[in-house]
Amino acid sequence: MVKAVAVLRGDSNVKGTVVFEQASESSTTVITYNLSGNDPNALRGFHIHQFGDNTNGCTSAGPHFNPFGKTHGSPSDAERHVGDLGNITTDAQGNASGTMEDIFIKLIGEHSVLGRTVVVHAGTDDLGRGGNEESKKTGNAGPRPACGMYLISQFFADRHVYGILN
């Protein structure tokens, strides 16, 4: 079992935590999020980005994590970036909390997302269905008000078998 946590902050009021848990290399990853400070009653793009670099704010995180060269899509699409997590839904106070499972996100193995950045966007992700080139890259999700790099918080596996640490 590997567990990783990201603490999200940025240039806005958006903040919170995202927890990733994966039991084994072949299992799905459970993602639990608890965020506040978003616009009320909104859908907000939610993605894992390429780099664990936040030196220039969330823009340093680069594009969506996409090790297989796919186009942008929804979490249920077979053709999508690994980092495409769709949208989160905020309540009347701008809070969002929930849990999702994902078959492409891996904490264990060759395409691990550990050390990368999770980003909450200021706009709604059109899931690659916007009819333009930007939709196929970003889902037209807009600016990045909050982000955080996620790192291992618990490790209960043989690190040599799973190849996470030397």
111 catalytic, yes or no? no
- Give the HSE-up count for residue 27: Cα atoms under 13 Å, Cβ half-sphere: 13
9 catalytic, yes or no? no
- Of the residues 81, 116, 125, 126, only one is catalytic, namely 81
CA-to-CA distance for 97 and 30, rounded, in angstroms?
Answer: 13
47 catalytic, yes or no? yes
Nearest to 146, CA basis, from 75, 51, 45, 20: 45
The residues, any chain, with a CB within 8 Å of residue 133's CB and separated by 6 or more, are: none
- Of the residues 72, 80, 125, 126, only one is catalytic, namely 72
- Of the residues 9, 44, 53, 64, only one is catalytic, namely 64
- Of the residues 80, 84, 102, 116, only one is catalytic, namely 84
- Of the residues 44, 80, 116, 121, only one is catalytic, namely 121
- Of the residues 44, 47, 80, 116, only one is catalytic, namely 47
Instruction: Give catalytic residues, as residue numbers.
Output: 47, 49, 64, 72, 81, 84, 121, 144
